[in-house]
Amino acid sequence: MTFSSRIIILHTLKFRDNSVIINGYSDSAGRQNYILYFSGKSKKYAALSSLHPLSIIDAQIGSTKGDLKTITEFHPAYKLQSIRCNIIKCSLAMFMSELLFKTVKELEKNPELFSFIEASIIELEKIETSYKDYHLRFVARLCGYMGYLPEDNFSSSNRIFSLTKGRFSNGLNPGESYFNEVNSAALHSLLCEDFNTSNILTSGKERSYFLEELIRYLSYHSGFEINIQSLSILHEVFE
């Protein structure tokens, strides 16, 4: 007996000559591991071409072998052509999939989180310009869906963001860890509806540092270190 599931691909690993192990986030069961078998080389190459990071597939799920659920058949839910062909979008997709792979651990369905990730991927596919804030906004919003949304209590007396408390303050408590003033202002901008940090972060280096601070915030509140290997590629793209 099989059932249908929509799956966002986070990571793949070739297993022997006739199969691939897929780590994905599904609409039906959250974070899961799957195995997909190939019946021939042509089908293998056709399948692998559809299983890039952040690909979204509609799949039929069959039997379970250990911790692996078997995908009996699938087809792409969307044609994400520009994500695959545009070097900036491809780099962003690599970063997003790695971040999700290393942070989203829950094994139960979360419709709100799934819809957010799916909508973010579709947005990335469609945008034609203004990539600079995209990944920053994605990380900030992901914090919210994971239960760590920063409180936007920014004011003239609370201008410094406390990473420890998750809210803005005067920055004078010695036991807390803070963003600097520029990154605090950038975070406030991200939390507002316009999502425009261009007038605050004026260089690729500043944006890279702000992104690292956002990940540090997520790491602190997740309770484990998040080491993103693709950050170096992303930094080069946006320099």
- Tens digits of residue pLDDT in 13-39: 988 778 899 999 999 999 999 999 887
pLDDT band at 185 (very low <50, low <70, confident <90, very high): very high
Give the whole-angstrom CA distance, residue 165 versus residue 119.
Answer: 29
Token code pair at residue 55: 């690909």
The mean pLDDT value for 164-174 works out to: 94
Q: Is pLDDT larger for residue 161 or for residue 44?
A: 161
State the total domains in the chain: 2
Query: Does a structural domain hold residue 100?
Result: no
Cβ-Cβ contacts under 8 Å for 196 (sequence gap 6 or more): 133, 189
Picking from 61, 76, 91, the residue at the C-terminal end of a domain is: 76
Q: Are 24 and 7 a contacting pair, CB within 8 Å?
A: yes
pLDDT of residue 2: 86
Q: Which residues pair with 151 in a beta bridge?
A: 167
Residues of the chain above pLDDT 70, percent: 94
CA distances from 166 to 9, 28, 80, 131 (A): 30, 31, 35, 26
Picking from 76, 91, 112, the residue at the C-terminal end of a domain is: 76
Q: Is pLDDT larger for residue 144 or for residue 202?
A: 144
Query: Based on the domain organization, do 209 and 144 belong to the same domain?
Result: yes
**To 5 degrees, how large is the angle CA 109–CA 112–CA 117?**
95
Query: Does a structural domain hold residue 28?
Result: yes
Query: Based on the domain organization, do 70 and 134 belong to the same domain?
Result: no
State whether the Cα torsion 74-112-194-229 is positive or negative: negative
Mean pLDDT of the residues in the chain? 91
pLDDT of residue 17: 79
Query: Based on the domain organization, do 213 and 143 belong to the same domain?
Result: yes
Picking from 45, 76, 107, the residue at the C-terminal end of a domain is: 76
Nearest residue to 168 (alpha-carbon basis) of 144, 191, 145, 139:
191
Query: Based on the domain organization, do 136 and 231 belong to the same domain?
Result: yes
State whether the Cα torsion 212-216-218-222 is positive or negative: positive
pLDDT band at 193 (very low <50, low <70, confident <90, very high): low
pLDDT of residue 46: 66
Residues of the chain above pLDDT 90, percent: 70
Tens of pLDDT, residue by residue over 77-126, are 998 999 999 999 999 999 999 999 999 999 899 999 999 999 999 999 99
Alpha helices in 65-195 (DSSP H): 81-85, 87-103, 111-126, 134-145, 181-191
**Polymer length of the chain:** 239
The terminus-to-terminus CA distance of the chain in angstroms comes to 51
Task: Look at residue 11 and tell me whether its pLDDT is greater than 70.
Answer: yes
Query: Based on the domain organization, do 72 and 133 belong to the same domain?
Result: no
Predicted model pTM: 0.92
Task: Look at residue 43 and tell me whether its pLDDT is greater than 80.
Answer: no
| Residue 65 belongs to domain spanning | 3-76
